[in-house]
Amino acid sequence: MDNSLSVCSSQFSLIDSVTIEKGPSLAEWTLVLFVLGTPLHFLYFKRNLSVAIVQYKFILAIFITLLGILSLSYGLRDIHDVLIGEKSPGGFILSISIVLTTILIHDESHKTQTKKKRNYRFFHIIGLFCSFGISFVFIFQKRKDTAVDFQNNWELQLTEWTTKLYCVLISVYLIESAIQVLKQVLGANQSFEKGKADKDVSPEIKASFLSRLTWSWVTPFVLFGYSHNLEPSDLWPLKPEHVSTNIIPIFDKYWEEEVEKATRERQSQEKRTIKTTTITVEKKVQANLLRCVIRALGPALLLSAFYKLLYHLAEFTFPYMIRLLIGIARDGKEEIWKGYILAILMFSVSIFKSVVLNIHINETQEAGRSNWVALTAAIYKKTLRLTNAAKQDSTVGEIINLMSVDAEKIGNCMWSVNEVWAVPLLFSISFYFLWQTLGPSVLVGLIIILLLVPVNFVLMRKSKHLQLESMNLKDARIKKMNEVLNGIKVLKMYAWEECFEKRILEIRDKELHILAGRKGIQNWMHVIWATTPFMISLCTFGTYVLMDANNVMSAEKVFVSLSLFNILQYSLHLLPHVINYFIQTAVSLKRIQNFLNNEELDTSIITRNTNSEYGITVEDGTFIWDTTMEPTLKDITFKIPQGSLVAIVGSVGAGKSSLLSAILGEMESETAKVNIKGSIAYVAQQPWIMNTSLQQNILFGEDLDKRKYEFIVDASALRKDLEVLPGGDQTEIGEKGINLSGGQKQRVSLARAVYQNADIYLLDDSLSAVDAHVGKHIFDEIIGSNGLLKEKTRILVTHGLNYIRKVDIIITMVDGRIGEIGSFDELTEHDGPFAGFMKNYLAEELSTDDEQNIVSYRKLEGKSTTDETIIHSTHSDIVHSISDNSNIPIARQMSRQTSCESESSEVLSHNTLVQEENTESGSVKLNVIMTYVRAVGVKIVIVILTMSMVHEVAEMYLDVWLSKWTRDHTNGTVNGTQRNRRLGIYGAIGLFRGVSIFITETFVTYGLIKATRKLHKNLLRNILRSPMSFFDTTPVGRIVNRFSKDIETIDDELIYQFKDVVICLLLVLCNTVIISTGTPQFLFIMLPVTVVYFALQRLYVSTSRQLRTMASAARSPVFSHFGETISGCSTIRAFQQEKRFMTESARRFDELNTRRSLARSVEKWLHIRLDWLGSIIVLCVCLLVVVNKDDISPGIVGLAITYALNVTNCIEWLVKLTTNAETNIISLERIKEYSETHTEADWIVENKRPEHDWPNEGNVEMDNYGVRYREGLELVLKSISCKIAPCEKIGIVGRTGAGKSSLTMGLFRIIEKAQGRILIDGIDISTIGLHDLRSKITIIPQDPVLFSGTMRMNLDPFDEYSNEDIWTALNHAHLKAFVIGLKDGLDHHCSEGGDNLSVGQRQLICLARALLRKTKILVLDEATAAVDLETDDLIQTTIRTEFADCTILTIAHRLNTIMDYTRIMVLDCGQIREFDSPTNLLLDKKSIFYGMSKDAGLVS
């Protein structure tokens, strides 16, 4: 107490001795000027007085803060003099008081003005400010009575200025307080009442300075999250500067500059190449992504670097203060108040470190998040512009990996960017201070580091190479998985899951082999850098004590050195992680850079001259899909008059769809000139449907015009479909239209185009998958001369010959060229390509009531066109007079059609098909952790825990041993034997620790590989065994996310975080034990600290885990939307909707980032509070040391303080690691969830396996059979009973929703029976394994699905058949000549989805598959509905000849294909209504089949 009074008296005497000989200074007039200026300011600007006061106060606060900081610097300069008693600390304390009080004043004012708190808050601090003001006024009055001249004393003048401005600020604050109180008394401030929280604005924006500094604005949210389950509506939006629409343009600007620069360099390179005569191969110049990222994020990274510099500079004050504290403890004569000051200083520096570190982390995280948003947006934008050739090089899986893995790696690397300069700085400063402490002996440690540099360089290069290989294998795995998920229905019906499971696991095994090698290298790097500080300290201390007998290990030297070694160890510990991150980031940067530098579509060949008299003009058109291939279209020149209806016809591969793509700008050309007059609407051959409501699929971004919308729905024949769908047009449509039939998807796609009200319509076989009467209705109501589009320019690719004569112009395509252009009459008058086309196929298309077709045919044959009577009384007459006009299609549909047409009404019980992803709340469940423990292996976990404990105890004992060593020189002499013993044991402990670390890391790697292999295998196995209902309601992106991001988390992070949590917990316990050994009172301090710690932990974990789970759930929609965009690129570009889709993508980014941002804010809220707890621990330990300085040795003092500083970091790291572990456990939970979903029946039932040649007859019997899609729903098939004899040909027909496909899916057990049974050759199919059933039945599906791989793999994935068998099947499928013509024959590589083959060729490959299997039962699910007439002819001919001895079940919309079948099964409402021969059914004019045939135009 006396010391404190002496300090205060010295402060007063210092200021009291000051006077000014001249007149009043400017500072003394400041208050007067303010008082005079305020009314003028108010009158001139017409402002509120309180606002003006706040402005003046803010300006004064800035000046005072700057002056206070300057004064503070003087105090820091003289701190040593203060501590040794040569100078009073008064000025220093005064400066700190001024700065802190100024911040409090500004903060309190900000709270009042912005957050509208109640006014009584002012009275809590008014007394404090008044006391300060009165005290300093008293001091100034005393100073005027003195006679000391201080005009040349800048330090005293600075103190006076600061103090005077401080008094002015207090006066301003008092005025403001009085105004606010008066307004409250008069009732003029009602807006201060508490209202509902504003969820449209982040509270961070309105938070005060101190609130933002300490993240106190997050506290209400943390408390709310602890007591409630968070919902998306509880979250507030991002700050404006963090919104995607504000981030993306900055990156785009710099990237475009880089692209322009690279383009100029390439052009210069090409000119140089032309001029040189020698042939040189120069690397293609690419736009530099790294330079772009640096330019975009440079300012943010520089700011974070400044805060990091402050943090590290503050760190180096601790060794100095430790030296002083040990000195105070050693010298019992030192005044105790110096120890108190040092304790307060260490506490203050700890608080300062915490603040600047959290600001640094926040800045780097924001930079990383901005970088991720910018890169993913750039990848998304690039995907919308890729050429076809570039798409072949970058599959969907690879592009998703770029977004989900590579871009995120680069964003996460932002924290380590500053380590590039920070680590060398820490090294340099540490070695400088070590030199000051230990002298030249530190050079030995420097030599050790220099020797390790080349070793680590070699390891780094090897690790980078392995990382690149690992990413390539990961791409291949995700690509294959994406293909499997998109073709899962075909895989199940072919019973191919096992084969593709094996292929994926083979890739995974290679990936794990690379991962094991990479982790092994990282283990060596970790061991080297973990033991490097010990080796440095061992060699340094050893050299120091051995080089001179007078060099002793004093407590000051040892613990100051240890403190510096700890700083050095931190940087060395970070170095391998930083190197690893940079290696991964370098690989990811290169991959993204290569993708972003891919060729883009050249839209310059497309012009939009609205003054042209033609709707479409194409001149000199030679178009190619890939520059390495031959042109697809050659010599294309034509002009389409505005408002014309044009038909494009031709055989398979003639270039019909390619011609539309050329008009859209999808193909490349160097010579073509294409002009489009107006906007375009496009209906693709593959109907592209979005995962949204049916209404939104039709509106496609346009506003709803109810009258127009209803009219288009009727014209598109969708009214009946809306009545069937459970939610009408608000029913959610699944990914790729899984709950719509092929015809429904076509009609929705057509309705979308019509609703856009474009000028030009490109219809690529848009009537292919609809019934005949529906096609006629759509043509008449929409496309034809009296339809909705009658005034528009329409181009229709079609094989429906009944429409051809109704068009204005016909373009005939022959081998990529235009064969003929003209009207129907013009082209039929001479024997050209069109006439040949008509001769080949028109005979099959004549309708009994279509006189015009008969006339056309006879005209081509050169016969009379007189009326003749055609009789349809016999079956043969019916067959020869079939005219299913609209169902001779090409429909390149790649969608996963649902199990049946009626699934939309049966599988859904409400409007939403795709459910929200499950988000777990609360703490981590023990069974989740135990799942991972069992995957790693209990024994391995025990070894890891034991060895971790051993090496942490060894590390602790190293410091304890040094503390004992410091006691050996107390008598002033050094015992050489004792010294050598100490040094030898110190080295042995360190060596033992290094070995234990190596053993730990080895077992960690082994456990990692074992666990991740098991978890991935279980996940894959369960997914492939899941029923189709799972895939119908689960987006592909959500499943792929499990195999990409979640598996990557298991691979790279989870086990290391578990290990680090254990190590950090052990460190906290060890530190507590060490500190308590010297100061037992510390245990009483740790008790309340521990209680507070666990309270904060529980508050934090509950909220944080919910936020991170919500963030994980928000990832899947981002990538689902991206995958959806990839499949619909052509449609999006055609409608010029790129900007809208990029906006939608940005919105989804923001939803994800909102959750991530808030999770990180909550994390920093916790960290800064834990830092405060750590600072309190440091303060308490220092005070205990000072109080007990006479009872403890200097060695114990140094050990206690060093470990007190360590425990602060350990507590913070423990919480951070625990949080990260809990966050990443979410990935484990998600994998566990999908590894335990409901699965199908067993693939093989060993004791129920049928004979090898089963079924040998092909007899099918259904007995009271019924199915439903899930429990609680009605039966979709009811009491189906029938017998199908061997070799019968059964046609299955019925209107939409009748249950046709449900019957087929029941036969394959895609959906399981609810009642009854199905017998095949006397065996109940429900009793045998699924693969035994499905492998014995052959299906030719409507969607010809191919997988990336060789032609042979697509035909025979199990390698069961010989080359001779395969060539025979290809010959019968009419593909032998085509395959022989391929360069690689059977080894020809099929691209993803078979995109490098035509639709007809793909369907013929499916036929070849069926021919190879050649089972007794063949199912055709509209197998020819997606092909043209030529391919249809080939398939039907082959089926009739090669499957003559098989039982055939055909689901048909096109009735002409089943008129020669044995019997027709007519289904209606899930029941068999009719089952007889076609002839008998047609004789009964009341039959359903007769009505369907009449609608199709087959009978009159």
pLDDT in tens, 655-704: 888 888 888 888 888 788 899 988 999 998 778 888 888 888 899 888 99
Q: What is the pLDDT of residue 1029?
A: 81
Residues in Cβ contact with 477 at an 8 Å cutoff, skipping those fewer than 6 apart: 397, 504, 507, 508, 511, 1043
The listed range with the strongest mean pLDDT (264-268, 656-660, 1325-1329) is: 1325-1329
| Across 148-162, 336-350, 1162-1176, 1282-1296, least confident range | 148-162
For residue 1366, count CB atoms less than 10 angstroms from its CB and return exposed for 0-12, middle for 13-18, buried for 19 or more. Answer: buried
pLDDT band at residue 613 under the 50/70/90 scheme: confident
d(CA 409, CA 422): 21
d(CA 1352, CA 498): 17
What's the average model confidence in pLDDT over 432-441?
84
Amino acid letter, residue 1393: G
Question: Residue 636 is encoded by which pair of tokens?
Answer: 């294309």
d(CA 1447, CA 1238): 33
Q: Are 409 and 1052 in contact (CB under 8 A)?
A: no
**pTM across the whole model:** 0.68
| Across 509-518, 827-836, 850-859, least confident range | 850-859
Task: Using DSSP bridges, classify how beta strands 1323-1324 and 1313-1320 pair: parallel, antiparallel or unpaired.
Answer: antiparallel
What's the average model confidence in pLDDT over 1190-1210?
75
Q: What is the pLDDT of residue 245?
A: 87
Q: Is pLDDT of 51 > 70? A: no
* DSSP labels, 731-742: SBP-GGGTTS-H
Q: Name the nearest CA neighbour of 102 among 58, 61, 133.
A: 61
Q: Is pLDDT of 875 > 50? A: no
Question: Which tops the pLDDT comparison, 102 or 1043?
Answer: 1043
Q: Is pLDDT of 732 > 50? A: yes
Q: Is pLDDT of 512 > 90? A: yes
pLDDT band at residue 148 under the 50/70/90 scheme: very low
Q: Is pLDDT of 963 > 80? A: no
Average model confidence (pLDDT) for the chain? 76
Q: Are 1240 and 1326 in contact (CB under 8 A)?
A: no
Q: What is the pLDDT of residue 21?
A: 39
What's the average model confidence in pLDDT over 286-311?
87
| Across 731-735, 878-882, 1213-1217, least confident range | 878-882
DSSP 8-state assignment for residue 1148? H
Residues in Cβ contact with 1055 at an 8 Å cutoff, skipping those fewer than 6 apart: 932, 936, 1004, 1007, 1008, 1011
Residue-wise pLDDT for 1392-1424, tens only, equals 777 777 777 788 888 888 888 888 999 988 776
Task: Using DSSP bridges, classify how beta strands 809-814 and 645-650 pair: parallel, antiparallel or unpaired.
Answer: parallel
Q: What is the pLDDT of residue 1?
A: 36
| Across 213-227, 600-614, 986-1000, 1416-1430, least confident range | 1416-1430
Question: Which tops the pLDDT comparison, 744 or 1146?
Answer: 1146
pLDDT above 70 as % of the chain: 76
What sign for the dihedral angle of Cα 293, 294, 298, 301?
A: positive
d(CA 34, CA 60): 10
d(CA 1227, CA 1205): 34
629: left (phi over 0), alpha (psi -120 to 50) or beta: beta
Q: What is the pLDDT of residue 1067?
A: 80
Residues in Cβ contact with 1215 at an 8 Å cutoff, skipping those fewer than 6 apart: 1097, 1100, 1166, 1167, 1170
Q: Is pLDDT of 323 > 60? A: yes
pLDDT band at residue 954 under the 50/70/90 scheme: confident
Q: Is pLDDT of 268 > 90? A: no
For residue 728, count CB atoms less than 10 angstroms from its CB and return exposed for 0-12, middle for 13-18, buried for 19 or more. Answer: middle
Residues in Cβ contact with 285 at an 8 Å cutoff, skipping those fewer than 6 apart: 262, 265, 266, 269
Residue-wise pLDDT for 546-588, tens only, equals 887 777 777 778 778 877 877 776 776 677 677 777 877 888 8
pLDDT band at residue 1318 under the 50/70/90 scheme: very high
Question: Residue 627 is encoded by which pair of tokens?
Answer: 């520059």
Residues in Cβ contact with 74 at an 8 Å cutoff, skipping those fewer than 6 apart: 91, 92, 95, 155, 158
Helices (H), 228-288: 244-275
Question: Which tops the pLDDT comparison, 1180 or 147?
Answer: 1180
Q: In Å, how far are 136, 192, 1337, 1459, 1477 from 1480, measured between CA atoms?
A: 115, 87, 29, 11, 5
Question: Residue 819 is encoded by which pair of tokens?
Answer: 């064969």
| Across 225-229, 939-943, 1019-1023, 1341-1345, least confident range | 1341-1345
What's the average model confidence in pLDDT over 931-959?
87
Q: Are 250 and 296 in contact (CB under 8 A)?
A: yes
| Across 45-54, 627-636, 712-721, 1154-1163, least confident range | 45-54
Residue-wise pLDDT for 1451-1492, tens only, equals 877 777 788 889 999 988 888 999 999 989 988 888 888 888
Angle at 257 between CA 253 and CA 259, to 5 degrees: 115
Q: Name the nearest CA neighbour of 576 among 536, 521, 535, 514.
A: 521
pLDDT band at residue 1018 under the 50/70/90 scheme: very high
d(CA 788, CA 779): 10
Instruction: Provide the CB-side half-sphere exposure for 1104 (13 A, CA).
Output: 25
| Across 105-114, 714-723, 1474-1483, least confident range | 105-114
Write out 1005-1052 in H/E/C secondary structure: HHHHHHHHHHHHHHHHHHHHCCCHHHHHHCCHHHHHHHHHHHHHHHHH
Question: Which tops the pLDDT comparison, 268 or 698?
Answer: 698
Question: Residue 1486 is encoded by which pair of tokens?
Answer: 């009341």
Angle at 286 between CA 283 and CA 292, to 5 degrees: 145
Question: Which tops the pLDDT comparison, 37 or 811?
Answer: 811
Q: Is pLDDT of 464 > 70? A: yes
Residues in Cβ contact with 353 at an 8 Å cutoff, skipping those fewer than 6 apart: 311, 314, 315, 1171
